[in-house]
Amino acid sequence: MPTPSQRIATLTGAGDDGWEIFYRARAMKAAGHDVLELTIGEHDIGTAPAILDEMHRAARAGHTGYAAVPGIAPLRATVAARLTARHGQAYGPENILIVPGGQAGLFAAHHAACDQGDRALLIDPYYATYPGTIRAVGALPQPVAAKSEDGFQPDLAGLRAAAPGARSLLINSPNNPTGAVYSEASLRGIAAIAHDHDLWVIADEVYDTQVWDGHHQPIASLPGMAARTLTVGSLSKSHAMTGSRLGWVCGPVETIAQMINLATHTTYGVPGYIQEAGLFALNLGPEAEAAVAAPFNRRRDMLMGRIAGHASLRAIPPQGAMYVMLDIRATGLSGDDFAARLLDAEQVAVMPGESFGRAAAGHVRVALTLPDDIFVTAITRLIGFAERLAT
C-alpha cells in the first residue's frame, strides 16, 4: 500500500492540531453531558432568515450549476467597493477573487506568495490552522512571538530580525485568539519591514467588523502596501455565515489573475446560490453587521467585570474579535492542563493557549459565543474553578 505524501503527513508539524479539548467536549455532548462550550468562533445565532430566504430563492431560480470561478460579477464589484471605502485604494472587480471561506483564501494567498521551501513569517499566538496552511503550500512557517504583557501587539524587533530571506508575513487584526487590534505604530512598523525585505503581507481581516476599542486600520491602506498585500476577508463572522463558506482575496490585478488559475485547478469556484446570498447580505449594510457583532462586545464587558479582583486570573483586554485570552499561570497549571481539568470538573470547555502557539502557553481562550445567561453560568464556573486552584 502506498504511503501518504510527506507534505500531508507532516501538515500539523508535531502530529496534532491542538484541538483535543474541542473534540472531547463534542464527544461528551454527544454522550448526553451538558457541556458549556466556549471553544470555537461560532455565533449563538444562526444566519439571518432574510439571507437564507435569498439563498433559497437563488437556488430555486437555477443558480445551482457551475458559477464563474473568480466569482459572480456583482459580488466581485460589491466586495471591491467595500474594500475601496475601507482601504482608501481604488479597487475593481479584477482585484477580487471569491473563495470558499477565509481558510481557502489563506491557502490561495500563500500559494501566490510562497514557493517550495520559502520561509513564511507569522505572529505567535496565531489561529491554529496557520502553520498547517503554510506547510500545505510547501513553505516553512516561522513564528515570531508577541507577548501577553504587551497586549499581544507584534514584536517589531523580532519580526525585523526574522525577515531577511523570508517571503511572506501573515498578520491577523483584529486577532484570533488574542483580541488584539494592531496599533498604527505596529502596522507602520510591519509595513516598513515588508518594504525593506520585499515581503508579501497576507492580511487576515475576517474580524474587521468586530472592533471594540480604537479602530481597525487595514495595512493595505498604508503608503505602498496595496501592491504587496493580499487581504483575506469573509462573511463568516460579519454575517454569521460560517457554514456558507464565502470569502474573498483582494490583491494586485496580476496576482489575482494567477490565483484564478489556482482556483480553476482546486475549488472551481463557489456555488452561485451562496454567492447570491452573500451579495444580498453585504447589501444589508453596516447596521446588520453591527447587530451581529454587538453580543460579543456585551459579553466581553460581562467577562471583564466578573474577572476583576480575582487574583487567579488575568484577562488581556480584547480590543476586538469574539474572544478573551485569560492568563491562568497563577493557578500553577498550563493552559492544556487547566482546560482539561476545567472540562472534567465543571463541564465548561475552553481552548488551551498552547493550541495557538508557544507565546500563549499558560493562557486559555474563551469564546464569547453562548447566550448571555448561559455565558454567565460558564464564566462563574470557570472563575470558581480557578479560585479553588489558587488557594
Question: For 52-110, what is each residue's pLDDT tens digit?
Answer: 999 999 999 999 999 999 999 999 999 999 999 999 999 999 999 999 999 999 999 99
Q: Are residues 190 and 107 in the same domain?
A: yes
Looking at every residue in the chain, the average pLDDT score rounds to 96
Please identify, among 240, 265, 285, the residue that sits at the C-terminal boundary of a domain.
285
Question: Nearest Cα to 160, choosing from 194, 200, 112?
Answer: 194
Q: Residue 168 — left, alpha, or beta (φ > 0 → left; ψ -120 to 50 → alpha)?
A: beta
Q: Are residues 88 and 195 in the same domain?
A: yes
Q: Are residues 268 and 344 in the same domain?
A: no
Tell me if 56 is assigned to some domain.
no
Q: Are residues 384 and 346 in the same domain?
A: yes
Q: Is the pLDDT of residue 16 over 80?
A: no
| pTM to 2 decimal places | 0.96
pLDDT value of position 17: 60
Q: What is the mean pLDDT of residues 343-356?
A: 96
Please identify, among 224, 258, 285, the residue that sits at the C-terminal boundary of a domain.
285
Q: Is the pLDDT of residue 15 over 60?
A: no
- Rounded to whole angstroms, the Cα distance separating 179 from 53 reads 33
- Rounded to whole angstroms, the Cα distance separating 71 from 271 reads 9
Q: Are residues 223 and 178 in the same domain?
A: yes
Range with the poorest average pLDDT among 13-17, 104-108, 141-145: 13-17
- Residue 376, domain extent: 6-46+287-390
* Contact assessment for residue 375 and residue 368, using Cβ atoms and an 8 Å cutoff: yes
- Rounded to whole angstroms, the Cα distance separating 28 from 35 reads 7
Question: Nearest Cα to 36, choosing from 26, 49, 45, 46?
Answer: 26
pLDDT value of position 11: 87
Q: Is the pLDDT of residue 14 over 70?
A: no
pLDDT value of position 12: 84
Residues comprising the chain, all counted: 391
pLDDT value of position 390: 78
Q: Are residues 365 and 268 in the same domain?
A: no
